[in-house]
Structure 1
Amino acid sequence: MNIKRPLVLLLLSYTLFLSAQEKVIDTIYLFDNQMKKVKLFHNVTSISPNDVEKNSTNLSELLRFQTSVYIKENGRGAVSSPSFRGTLAGHTAFVWNGININSNFLGQGDINNIPLFGYDQLEIKAGGGSVIYGSSAIGGSIHLNNTLDFNKGFEGSIYSEAASFGTYNNFVKTSFSNDKFSIKVSGNHSISQNNYEVKEKEYINRNGRYYNTVINIGTSYKIAPHQTLSWQNQIYDASQYYPIFVENGNKTKYNSQTLRNLISWDINKSKLSNSLKAAYTEDNFQYFGDIDQPRTSGATGKNYIIKNDFSYFLTPKINVNAIGEFQVNKGEGYQSGIGNISRNIGSVAGLLRYFTTKDIYFEAGIKKDFIEDISSPLLFSFSGKWHAKKWYNLGIHVSRNFKFPSFNDLYWDKGGNKDLKSESSIQVDMDHEFHFGHFKIIVSPYYMDIKNLINWLPTPYGYWAAFNTTSAESYGLESQLTLNKQFGKHRFALNAGYTYSKSINKLTKKQLMYVPIHRISGHLEYQYDFLKIYVQGLFNGLTYTTTDEKKADAIDPYFVLNTGISATLLKKYTLGMKVNNMTNIVYETVAYYPMPKRNFSVFATIHF
């Protein structure tokens, strides 16, 4: 995929919004049709497939080094969860081609059980988005999107990597399209013995191996000049072995299988568009308390989803958007006390977009969710954008967002609580965007007030249970500096960000666990003709791991450097090498689980 494509999509969508003339924009079919509208009002970080290859171990590594999200990973390749703007793991929505895919049982996503390869657009949106993307979109959302081109003929690529700790990563993608039909198929297989050692911590990542395989298939057919019928499919299979601290420790593992299917019928004209989607998703997992014995627990979750998104221009400046969705969520647990359960969920949302001039426009939205046996708040959102000067843009966003209780929260035996309320939040944030020559600076202060947090606490009866316990407030600042400069055969690219995050439990007045107050990440790339060199840096400040801000148990600040070099020959063949943690430091993202020290990889890519 061309790395300029996200910008092209944004420009095309802006032209479509502000024009009342009939235009046929059919070069690209995007499954998440809302994302091009979101980009008009919000700062969205887009990660291209080329950038994915710089951090190819897993999705956790990619997000850690290329976004502002803090990633809590229990050692390389193990259980992993995000913290957006100081929020909890369940306050991030994972969205696959416009469909929320957070687990029915956990109410969140396990990052290392979500494939890294096979997407055409991987996009990160900070801030609330429940009006469009539903439950959990409180701190932010991570979007895994696929596109389909028309009139591109045959294309293909192969990526193969060998790395430290017995790690092998292979990805193949091929596509064909003409003026009416498009198909894209990709597959990835990753495997690692993952047996790294950190002598300073007297730690060996025993029993840490993993593998995963994913197959993606997407097709689209133009049934009329302005109508397409499309299908997207993902099949995923993985196994994680959990690290043990001593040689003779009890070895455990976790297996997961995912199936996602999405059919979409889309009508796109200058004034009117409609997207009707039907989706089926299935998540299965099995936990083995002893890798040589049968599973000790597990579950199967199934979702049946129908979603319709209708958009119409009343005038060239006024757009109305209605979104209706109905889901049936089913689950069956094994050795958890959760039997056959089912939950119906419906929602209705309306959005109004008004373009007063080419420099000022805004969006207002409202949504009501209807969740079986659970009350939910009335949600709203407001976003405005003002191109005040050639060198300065101002954006402001206000929203109410929510997260409803998961199956585990409600039905786990013992500890599930059927009387739980939905978590809700009020959020305000701003984007100050400055342009100076080839530099762009974005400064985004934010504030969130989150109520009815769901926590699992010990009870007098000897087991843990779920309760709506307290409230929290998160406030801080996100900033980003980018530079793209090319002269002749020389090209420089810089992307750096700083975040300041305070996330306070209102009852204790203490910082929440695993929320670093200061965090800096950066990426510098230089290219001359066929040769490319890059350096990545990540500074993570002091991070508390207990609720009482005990510094003795906190994760110390650390600074990690990665680098890589590659050469592209004949515009088709690329050979490269990467060095991760080149300064060989000792660091953790979760207490007691050190990450690898210096490690290496070599890779090759062929485009045809």
Structure 2
Amino acid sequence: MTKKYQFSAVLLFCFFLGFSQEKAIDTVYIFDNQLKNSKKFHKIETLDEADLLKNTTNLSEVLRFQSPVYIKENGRGMVSSPSFRGTTAQQTAFIWNGININSTFLGQGDVNNLNLLGYDQLEIKSGGGSVIYGSGAIGGTIHLNNELSFNKGFHSTLFLEGGSYNTFNSFLKTSYSNDKLSVKVSGNFVKSDNYYEVPEKKYVNLNGEYDNRTFNLGAAYKLDHRNTISWQTQIYDGVQHYPVSSEDFTKTKYFSDTFRSLVAWDFKNKKIQNSFKLAYLQDEFQYFDHIENPKSSGGTADIYLAKNDLNYIYNDKIAFNIIGEYQFNKAEGYKSGISSVSRKAGSAAGLLRWNPSQKFYFEAGIKKDFVEKIETPLLFSFSGKMKVGDWYQVALNASKNFRYPSFNDLYWQPGGNLNLRSEISYQGELGNNFKYGDLKLNVTPYYINIKDMIRWLPNSKGIWSPMNTNKVESYGVESQFDFEKSFGKNKTKFSLGYIFTHSKNVETDRFLAYVPQHKIYGNANYRYDFLEFFVQGMFNGWTYTSDEEKLKDAIKSYFVMNSGINITVLKHYQIGFKVNNILDEIYETTAYYPLPKRNYSANLLINF
């Protein structure tokens, strides 16, 4: 065990010794205060800890079954990337407590290297958000949130799970808070041999094992009724062995280490709300082209960030928001042609919020980024929402967003291209929200146009190099139906989503690879007193795997269903059983990498 995890274990043990006390929640400290404003105009899917525990395999499973996002996964627990509204992983921004954490090298995030159970809440927002969240927030944003409650006393949660393929998952979280201080500590460990077979495909998932560890520490202290200081830190390291189709193939693996630390000072009175943040982020990776040999490539990236978010409330109808940010990024590669590079980046954004009545909301924003040696566009956003009646609300959103080239795009050798331009997108959506009693329906048609998309293609010398080649046009509809009802000891919840996506390369008039036209997902949950039963289903339509639209290589449509039962014993103990892929469906989200057939897990959840 490394020193950082020895220190983490000691902290966890000390807090775990605390006893539970029941107190009323005073306030909840949220690190991403901009997301609350977005909910007024955008449909945002919010998943709490109970939702996450229904798909504990990894973050890919959560997004696949409980969100409109399409997940492309190279086998269970392996490299995984998201697709919002017909865009790619590079046009998706991962936001950790209000901070963009996309890789400085790749310009994207690997879903399965973002540990699932270290967060109190997961929120999924479709649509552009570069004015607030910066580069890459084009198709959508995935928010990994931590919260701190005050005046709640001691509380601890222990989760243990065992499953098929010799999978073990454990999570321990403990917290203490009074009216001035709040501290939360958590740790997560996941390990799996991940050896499974799909005989119908003549596939065996050889060399597919993985394991990872995460430690989270959060703290907040109220200096007085106006000032709060807070700290959030996360440490992650993981190992993925990349699957091979035969014992004759060379076995490879990948190490990932992440350290994130964020300090914030929040001031609040009747007129002014100000949040000042300082953050340090470090990402390190090592790739081994043979698991028994020394690493063959790797890199380390460091990000130093300062951000100030000032909100001035002029009166009860008008507010002005000014956001300034500065970053210094540096990176050092190993056998990648990237020796030592650095980049300075800053931005200034202003937003006007107008709320003339209880029936109308308006927000307009403008932003300019300043990135060293890279030309960036002037961005804008516009949102308006009108309450037509108790049964119907309509919201209009339009924005200009962008992504600037990553370090790999610019400096990777051979192939890096220093002449790349930033990707630019224009988009609009019209959200229609209907409500009748306990029934809710959201229908949102959208349109996205991306120009100067950065793609790696063979150049005239046969070397793969990034180029500004594509113009992409995407349009479609996201819709979701929700029903929730409680009566006596009974509680039922049902959600059904349908997504239609039409995403094409304008120059070739061909559909983008790994963008299915149709996706349907549904979740049903019923609880009676101590007993809970849930069912999940997900249909994915025909999906091309290359830009050539070859039907013989396309992934056929599939329907996958999961089900589970939870039994609460003696109030504080919950025993759970789950069956994944009940129908024993043969399916894959990436060509040649089938996901497991029917498999099982059992878990124990203890609340102290």
Do both proteins adopt the same fold according to a TM-score greater than 0.5, normalized to the shorter chain? yes
Secondary structure, in 3 states, of the residue corresponding to 2:38? helix
Partners of 2:198 and 2:98 in 1: CA distance = 41
Gaps of 5+ in 2: 1-24
Alignment of 1:450-599 (within 5 A): 450-599=450-599
Q: 2:139 aligns to what?
A: 139
Q: 2:336 aligns to what?
A: 336
Q: 2:190 aligns to what?
A: 190
What letter is aligned with 1:341? V
Q: 1:256 aligns to what?
A: 256
Q: 1:15 aligns to what?
A: none
The alpha-carbon distance between structure 1 residues 455 and 118, as it changes in their structure 2 partners (threshold 3 A), is same
* Alpha-carbon contact 2:26-2:151 (below 8 Å) kept: no
Q: Are positions 1:122 and 2:125 aligned together?
A: no
Partners of 2:401 and 2:462 in 1: CA distance = 34
| 1:579 Cα deviation after fit | 0.2
Q: Are positions 1:220 and 2:220 aligned together?
A: yes
Q: 1:325 aligns to what?
A: 325
Alignment of 1:150-229 (within 5 A): 150-229=150-229
What letter is aligned with 2:367? K
Partners of 2:329 and 2:606 in 1: CA distance = 42
Q: 1:429 aligns to what?
A: 429
Q: 2:314 aligns to what?
A: 314
Alignment of 1:264-343 (within 5 A): 264-343=264-343
Partners of 1:430 and 1:188 in 2: CA distance = 40
Partners of 1:93 and 1:257 in 2: CA distance = 19
Alignment of 1:13-92 (within 5 A): 27-92=27-92
Q: Are positions 1:602 and 2:583 aligned together?
A: no
Partners of 1:66 and 1:450 in 2: CA distance = 27
Q: Are positions 1:396 and 2:415 aligned together?
A: no
Partners of 1:460 and 1:386 in 2: CA distance = 53
Partners of 1:512 and 1:41 in 2: CA distance = 29
| 1:462 Cα deviation after fit | 3.0
Partners of 2:503 and 2:288 in 1: CA distance = 35
| 1:548 Cα deviation after fit | 1.8
Write out the 4+ residue segments of structure 1 that deviate beyond 4 Å after TM superposition: none
Partners of 1:166 and 1:275 in 2: CA distance = 45
Identity of aligned residues (%): 56
| 1:305 Cα deviation after fit | 0.1
| 1:570 Cα deviation after fit | 2.6
Superposed CA deviations along residues 63-114 of structure 1, whole A, max 9, x for unmatched, are 0000000000000001000000010110000000000000000000011111
Partners of 2:415 and 2:480 in 1: CA distance = 43
What letter is aligned with 1:44? I
Superposed CA deviations along residues 404-425 of structure 1, whole A, max 9, x for unmatched, are 0000000001110001000010
Secondary structure, in 3 states, of the residue corresponding to 2:158? strand
What letter is aligned with 1:531? L
Secondary structure, in 3 states, of the residue corresponding to 2:65? helix
Partners of 1:459 and 1:398 in 2: CA distance = 36
The alpha-carbon distance between structure 1 residues 87 and 307, as it changes in their structure 2 partners (threshold 3 A), is same
Q: 2:384 aligns to what?
A: 384
Q: 2:18 aligns to what?
A: none
Partners of 1:215 and 1:234 in 2: CA distance = 6
What letter is aligned with 1:62? V
Partners of 1:497 and 1:585 in 2: CA distance = 21
Secondary structure, in 3 states, of the residue corresponding to 1:361? strand
Gaps of 5+ in 1: 1-24
Superposed CA deviations along residues 468-514 of structure 1, whole A, max 9, x for unmatched, are 00200000000000000111111111011000000010011011000
Secondary structure, in 3 states, of the residue corresponding to 1:514? coil
Q: 1:413 aligns to what?
A: 413
| 1:270 Cα deviation after fit | 2.7
| 1:26 Cα deviation after fit | 6.1
The alpha-carbon distance between structure 1 residues 137 and 94, as it changes in their structure 2 partners (threshold 3 A), is same
| 1:546 Cα deviation after fit | 1.4
What letter is aligned with 2:568? T
What letter is aligned with 1:296? S
Q: 1:12 aligns to what?
A: none
Q: 1:17 aligns to what?
A: none
343-352 or 261-270: bigger deviation? 261-270
What letter is aligned with 1:355? N
Partners of 2:259 and 2:596 in 1: CA distance = 31
What letter is aligned with 1:234? Q
What letter is aligned with 1:208? G
Superposed CA deviations along residues 183-209 of structure 1, whole A, max 9, x for unmatched, are 000000000000010000010000000
Q: 1:11 aligns to what?
A: none
552-561 or 29-38: bigger deviation? 29-38
| 1:37 Cα deviation after fit | 1.4
| 1:224 Cα deviation after fit | 1.6
Partners of 2:571 and 2:419 in 1: CA distance = 60
Partners of 2:479 and 2:40 in 1: CA distance = 19
Partners of 1:205 and 1:182 in 2: CA distance = 44
Secondary structure, in 3 states, of the residue corresponding to 2:223? strand
Partners of 1:179 and 1:489 in 2: CA distance = 33
365-374 or 488-497: bigger deviation? 488-497
* Alpha-carbon contact 2:496-2:521 (below 8 Å) kept: yes
* Alpha-carbon contact 2:26-2:179 (below 8 Å) kept: no
Q: CA RMSD in A?
A: 0.8
Q: 1:8 aligns to what?
A: none
Superposed CA deviations along residues 194-239 of structure 1, whole A, max 9, x for unmatched, are 0010000010000000000000000011112111111000000100
Superposed CA deviations along residues 19-77 of structure 1, whole A, max 9, x for unmatched, are xxxxxx96111011111111122111000101101000111111000000000000000
Partners of 2:172 and 2:313 in 1: CA distance = 41
Partners of 1:474 and 1:121 in 2: CA distance = 29
| 1:459 Cα deviation after fit | 2.0
Partners of 1:71 and 1:333 in 2: CA distance = 28
* Alpha-carbon contact 2:26-2:152 (below 8 Å) kept: no
Superposed CA deviations along residues 527-583 of structure 1, whole A, max 9, x for unmatched, are 111100010000000000011211111000000000000111232100010000001
Superposed CA deviations along residues 436-472 of structure 1, whole A, max 9, x for unmatched, are 2211000000000000010111123231111100200
Partners of 2:470 and 2:479 in 1: CA distance = 29
Secondary structure, in 3 states, of the residue corresponding to 2:53? helix
352-361 or 35-44: bigger deviation? 35-44
Secondary structure, in 3 states, of the residue corresponding to 2:37? helix
Superposed CA deviations along residues 366-405 of structure 1, whole A, max 9, x for unmatched, are 0000000000110000001111111001001000000000
